[in-house]
Amino acid sequence: MRSVKRNAARRIAAATVASGILTAGALTLATSASASTVSAHGAGTSYRFTTHDNGHDVTFNQLLGINDEGVIAGYFGSGAQGHPNKGYLLLPPYGQHDYLNENFPGSVQTQVTGLNNRGVTVGFWSSMNTASMVNNNFGFYEVGGSFHNADFPTGDPANPPVDQLLGVNDNDIAVGFYTDGQGNNHGYEYNIGDHQFTTVTDPNLPAASLTAAAINDENDVAGVYTNSAGTTDGFLKTHHGQFIDLAFPGASSTMALGVNSRDEVVGSYTDGSGSTATMHGFTWTSQQGFRTVDDPNGVGTTTINGVNDRGQLVGFYVDGAGNTDGFVASPLS
């Protein structure tokens, strides 16, 4: 990855959108550390958890992607009116001086949702910050300090339009989705090099509502779709075209949000519904299946949004004070 210069990332003070797929929660400031063991569905895996919140808004942070050098994409601000999303990169060792602002020029809101090892970041921006939190969304990518729009050319957009880039690999292929006029999501890939769009669909349900959320260097895509029973499941679509349904056993819904080059998929699943529902992070591999991973400070409120090739996880949880906190989970073995 190219060196990330601190002054280069302190660009325009703008912000991000109330996101369409990324789950909203609430958080806290500071950096705290704890250890926890993953034990669901088989042998445990130990992680060291650290909480990281940008001091500009310690009540709401989400960490959404992490590359192999440990650089993290994220944002602060809930998206409520007067509290717009503000994008950033977070560099190791993750102190308060290591947050670098990254916002689309002239935007009102920005979320930085993904990054690769070559210095490319992706996300989406909005010109709005309404009380209803129904805002327009436009996908973007940033290379060498230059921002570019990247919206799927549809003749049937939602009103207001919704288009988000959510991940990018080292081949400079980004993935995301747009929402059509009927409210259905459509996944796509965008090749930054040749500016070509390609749809991502379930070959068995090509019309299903689907979001492409992450892509690895093998061009395998992870995401979320509506299955034939009308349930929200995750998926992994390999570059060979194999479509693997991912449904956590017994869960009411499953979302796959990140994937690394070993096809380790991460995301969240929901137990129950309504006021009794709980949300838990997970990891999945074809060899070991699903394992629950909850931040010990947010058991039942955890979402894992990204994973790098070192097995480091990033995401967010809701703490006891109702704040949404970003976290990093690093394997201990």
- For domain 6-331, give the fold: Neuraminidase (2.120.10)
Question: What token pair was written down for 213?
Answer: 């959320």
Q: Which residue has 């650290």 as its token pair?
A: 50
Asked if 237 contacts 220 with a C-beta cutoff of 8 angstroms, the reply is yes
Helices and strands: H and E segment counts in the chain = 1, 25
How far is it, in rounded angstroms, from Cα 152 to Cα 165?
10
Residue 209: per-residue pLDDT: 98
Residue 33: per-residue pLDDT: 56
Three-state SS sequence of 18-70: CCCCCCCCECCCEEEEEEEEECCCCCCEEEEEEEEECCCCCCEEEEEEECCCC
Q: Tally Cβ neighbours within 10 Å of residue 300.
A: 12
How far is it, in rounded angstroms, from Cα 96 to Cα 78?
19
DSSP 106-126: T-SEEEEEEE-TTS-EEEEEE
Question: What token pair was written down for 105?
Answer: 């020029």
- Cα–Cα distances in Å, from 134 out to 18, 137, 156, 318? 8, 9, 18, 23
How far is it, in rounded angstroms, from Cα 213 to Cα 259?
9
Residue 44: per-residue pLDDT: 62
Residue 110: per-residue pLDDT: 98
pTM listed for this prediction = 0.90
Q: Where are the domains of the chain?
A: 6-331
Helix (H) / strand (E) containing 9? helix 6-9
- What is the number of alpha carbons within 13 Å of residue 231 lying toward its C-beta? 16
Residue 17: per-residue pLDDT: 33
C-alpha angle 173/122/71, rounded to 5°?
Answer: 100
Residue 5: per-residue pLDDT: 38
Residue 7: per-residue pLDDT: 35
How far is it, in rounded angstroms, from Cα 209 to Cα 73?
26
How far is it, in rounded angstroms, from Cα 317 to Cα 297?
8
Residue 333: per-residue pLDDT: 74
Asked if 208 contacts 235 with a C-beta cutoff of 8 angstroms, the reply is no
pLDDT digits (tens, 9 = 90+) for 259-308: 999 999 999 999 999 999 999 999 999 999 999 999 999 999 999 999 99
pLDDT, one tens digit for every residue, the chain (333 residues): 444 433 333 222 222 233 434 333 322 233 455 555 553 334 567 999 999 999 999 999 999 999 999 999 999 999 999 999 999 999 999 999 999 999 999 999 999 999 999 999 999 999 999 999 999 999 999 999 999 999 999 999 999 999 999 999 999 999 999 999 999 999 999 999 999 999 999 999 999 999 999 999 999 999 999 999 999 999 999 999 999 999 999 999 999 999 999 999 999 999 999 999 999 999 999 999 999 999 999 999 999 999 999 999 999 999 999 999 999 999 997
Sequence length of the chain is 333
How far is it, in rounded angstroms, from Cα 13 to Cα 237?
37
